[in-house]
Amino acid sequence: MEIKYINPFIEATKGVFFNFFNKTPDVKTPYLIRKEEPHKWDISAIIGIAGEARGAVVLSFSKFLATYLTSILVDREVKEIDDDVVDTLGEMVNIIAGNAKKGLEEYMLVISLPSIVTGINHEIRWPGSRNISIIGIPFHSSCGEFTLSVGLENII
């Protein structure tokens, strides 16, 4: 895992969050995540990465934040994780992935369209070897927190 692959995602996340909600989230201290570790998130968007590094970048939200953000964007009160929430977060993360791509152009990487997983303690299948190392980067905003998790393995 190398920092140069992660930074574009952090920047893109901050940028998109600011553009959509006019708030720049704070980035907190990163920490280690174990593959099988339970988590507190209700919805995650997974962006697959292949090429010179292989793995995934995952954005995870609580139900509260996901519905809150969706409410702002669809202009109606959303209480449950419904299709609108999935679509909205999918679109948002799609833009994040798109913006991150710009910062990754010089590397031999292929970045997939995000796919969404929902449910309490939903399982995220990390691609790559069993012992892949994952780090979590927490974001705090005035309307709640979310996490960017990165699990990448260098090929070669």
Nearer to another protein, 135 or 143 (CB): 135
C-alpha 144/C-alpha 61 separation (Å) is 9
CA atoms within 13 A on the CB side of 54: 8
Residue 130 sits in the site that holds another protein (CB under 8 A): yes
C-beta of 82: minimal distance to another protein in Å? 20
DSSP character at residue 106 = T
C-beta of 61: minimal distance to another protein in Å? 17
C-beta of 102: minimal distance to another protein in Å? 10
Of residues 85, 109, 126, 146, which one binds another protein by CB under 8 A? Answer: 109
- Compose the 36-75 pattern: x for residues touching another protein by CB under 8 A, - for all others: ----------x-x-xx------------------------
Of residues 75, 76, 105, 142, which one binds another protein by CB under 8 A? Answer: 105
Residue 107 sits in the site that holds another protein (CB under 8 A): yes
Which neighbouring-strand residues pair with 104? Answer: none
CA 109 vs. chain centroid, Å, equals 17
User: Which residues would be at the binding site for another protein (CB under 8 A)?
Assistant: 1-3, 6-7, 27-32, 34, 46, 48, 50-51, 101, 105-110, 112-115, 127, 130-135, 137-138
